[in-house]
Structure 1
Amino acid sequence: MFSFSRDIGIDLGTASILVYVKGKGVVLNEPSVVAIDKNTGKLLKVGIDAQKMLGRTPGNIVAIRPLREGVISDYDMTERMLKEFIRKVTSFRLFKPRIVICVPSGITEVEERAVIDAGVQAGARRVYLIEEPVAAAIGAGIDITKPDGHMIVDIGGGTTDIAVISLSGIVESTSIKIAGDEFDEAIIKYIRRKHNVLIGERTAEELKISIGCVFPRTEEQTMEVKGRCLMTGLPRIFTVSSNEMIEAFEEVTERILEAIHSVLERTPPELVADISTNGIVMTGGGSLVWGFDKLIESRTGIETHVADDAISCVAYGTGKSLEWVSDMQDGTINISRRKQMNN
């Protein structure tokens, strides 16, 4: 398996966790879900196995997502989940690994402390933090060391991070708690309002991936959906179209577009000129909603494209930053702005 001394990069996402092992690449990509027995407190399943239990558990078992809106909402469960994932990718525990963990750019000092503590308790020798937009830019293959402005829009599960990066640092940024989860919520609310049917989170996500779009498609697509009719309480099958998805997503997309405009307004004119030349780069799972790049391009007039392997960009960027882990004492390339602490 993997060498005991390898450093690890972790994209600690609201929806999924990706683990990068130095010299191996991304070796784990699993949902950020844990299943526990409420009576005994025993951890039953993590990741994919736990996700299958969401909404389908008996009374004594609960499947939860310990990360919400990009930050830790259940410290104990996050620590146990991290420990399990680290155990999966390291076979020999003689030396603890150094870990770089990716966090949203708008994280508070208290939230940073919680991430560092969880990493240390999960088995790290040292924990360093890197901001998501910086990791996303590195993972997308952008040379952030040059005096050249680049705009990154990273739409994850819990947060959307928008940043202008130049000379290895963030010049302007914002982090909003509107992202992939909000798209799912928007679908559930829309289906309830328009069709009077209740659907679950997993069905909403299937709709988002299959026919979800924020810009009109050349050909309208449809999908058959099963849910519970709120009038009769009985199962009901009906059809949803891609045009309905645009309507469902309208409020969420407007919030993200407003945030992009806000960052551009605060960016120095020289860097805005660079961005108009270099374009806007989108990363994260949320950027894969059909037509998002087209929508941003039509609203800003700036060429926009989705990075290759958008879901793994942040993990690859976090992994590549491991090469500089020895220089991370004083916040090099925006890593660990507040120096990590060991207990």
Structure 2
Amino acid sequence: MSNIDIGIDLGTTTVLIYTKEKGICLKEPSVVAVNTRTGQLLAVGSEAASMLGKTPDKIRAVCPLADGVIADYELCEQMVKYFLKKVSESSMVKPRVAICVPSGITDVESRAVIDAAVVAGARKVYLVEEPVAAAIGAGVDINRANGNIILDIGGGTTDVAVLSLNGIVTKASLKVAGNRFDEIIIKYVRDNYNVLIGKRTAESIKIGVGSVAPKLEEMEMDFRGRNLMSGLPQKRTIRRSEVREALMDPVIQILQAVRSVIERTPPELVGDMINNGIVLTGGGAKLHGLPELVRKVLKIEAYLAPNSEECVAIGTGKLFDFTDEFSDGIVDSILYPHSR
């Protein structure tokens, strides 16, 4: 793996890794399973995700990231090390690694990400803010004096930014994203059907009948859960209009964040945005009807980027072609001498 550069989308729910030679070479859940008695690492990624909610007391399957930042440093370090080893052809040469982070990340949280990557085997680490990576991955030309607005909805965070001349002009980050959508569906089903469902079922409902489209085409979907009164399994049916009702509140919060960013943007760049439209990236942006709702509420054209779920990882991997050009949005690990 001589002189390999690796881009990592270290997401709250999914880790994606990109290299120039292979493209997206890894896409696995951000889950780690450990033995609680010995501390032994039992599984990482897809295998660990299959254990969620099904483990005995001696096994713990957890997500080491929450809301886009590290919640369990030790487990995150082991996860990154495992994934780097999985995509590396040799352990002799340490790679340069670029990792995307939310726009609202603090210095302490940034340091934790860099430390985890260095301990995991990175030679040098770059942090790139998610909207910058998403723009690069979506093929947006951000090196001209032309305003482009990116709305990236991931699992743990939503990031909004206006980019121009290889820099971030205005930005916002909020901890309302795909995971929050799932939590709200779980709450809605519990409150209205008296049935408890898990995150996987909630995600299936979101993908199957979830929508925020202004003009709704009604659909239904069966789901299974545990009746909270009897304690027994139960099968019920939920309608798309019900899911829309539940999801509108977090989606409106996201649109308010976009509006806030636009209001703080210089008027010349706002004119550009009307021509360029809003680019939606991230897995959460695939929610049915979201581009149409953005157009209706914000009066600006909006479209979902191709391969939206992979845009951040692709842009992070391509970062090494741009590191000398960006005026904002990138933190170089050279700021931390121990990481050299």
- 1:323 positional shift: 2.4
1:95 counterpart residue number? 93
Moved over 6 A (4+): none
**Equivalent runs, 1:67-216 vs 2, <5 Å:** 67-216=65-214
Q: 1:341 aligns with which of 332, 336, 340?
A: 336
- Decide whether the 8 Å contact of 2:125 with 2:332 is kept in 1: no
Please point out which of 241, 252, 267 is paired with 2:250: 252
State how far apart, in whole Å, the 2-side matches of 1:312 and 1:103 are: 15
- The structural deviation recorded for 1:322 is 2.1
Verify the 8 A CA contact 2:147 2:272 in the aligned structure 1.
yes
Closer, same or farther: CA 119–243 of 1 in aligned 2, 3 Å: same
- Cα deviation, 1:21-74, whole Å, max 9, x if unaligned, reads 232211001110001110110111111111111101111101100000000000
In the aligned structure 1, how far is the partner of 2:302 from the partner of 2:172?
18
Within 5 Å, give how 1:226-237 maps onto structure 2: 226-237=224-235
Q: Which residue of structure 2 lines up, in the alignment, with residue 298 of structure 1?
A: 296
Contact kept? 1:285, 1:310, Cα under 8 Å: yes
Residue 315 (structure 1) aligned with residue 313 (structure 2): yes
Deviation at 1:342, TM superposition (A): 4.2
The amino acid of 2:228's aligned partner reads L
Secondary structure of the structure 1 residue equivalent to 2:331: coil
For 1:277 and 1:332, the matched residues in 2 are separated by 24
Distance in 1, Cα, partners of 2:2 & 2:79: 20
Q: Which residue of 1 aligns with 2:283?
A: 285
Aligned-partner Cα distance in 2 for 1:13–1:340: 24
- Against the structure 1 CA distance between its residues 338 and 96, is the aligned structure 2 distance closer, same or farther, given a 3 Å change threshold? closer
1:281-307 Cα shifts (integer Å, max 9, x gaps): 000000001001111110011000000
The structural deviation recorded for 1:5 is 2.8
Report the alpha carbon displacement of residue 202 of structure 1 after superposing the two structures with TM: 0.7
Q: List aligned pairs for 1:212-227, cutoff 5 A.
A: 212-216=210-214, 218-227=216-225
Q: Contact 2:33–2:59 (CA<8 Å) still a contact in 1? A: yes
Alpha-carbon distance change, 225 to 217 in structure 1, aligned in 2, over 3 angstroms? farther
Q: Return the letter of the residue paired with 2:51.
A: M
Partner of 1:269: 267
Partners of 1:341 and 1:29 lie apart in 2 by 29
Deviation at 1:334, TM superposition (A): 2.7
CA shift for structure 1 position 243:
0.7
Q: Deviations over 1:224-265 (max 9, x none)?
A: 000011111111100011111111112111110111111111
Consecutive unaligned residues in structure 1, runs of 5 or more: none
Does structure 1 retain, via aligned residues, the 8 Å contact 2:114–2:333?
no
Alignment partners' CA distance in 2, 1:35 and 1:146: 46
The alignment status of 1:36 with 2:37, answered yes or no, reads no
Distance of 2:72 and 2:213 partners within structure 1: 36
Work out the number of aligned pairs and report it: 338
What is the SS of the residue equivalent to 1:101?
strand
- Asked if the contact 2:285/2:304 (under 8 Å) is kept, the reply is yes
Q: Counterpart of 1:275 in 2: which secondary structure?
A: helix
State the TM-score, normalized to the length of structure 1: 0.96
- Name which of structure 1's ranges 265-274 and 217-226 shifts more when overlaid on structure 2: 217-226
- State the distance in 1 between where 2:283 and 2:167 align: 24
Report sequence identity in percent: 53
Conservation of the 8 A alpha-carbon contact between 1:126 and 1:342: no
Corresponding residue number in structure 2 for 1:65? 63
**In structure 1, C-alpha distance between the alignment counterparts of 2:89 and 2:176, rounded to whole Å:** 37
**Matched AA of 1:27:** C
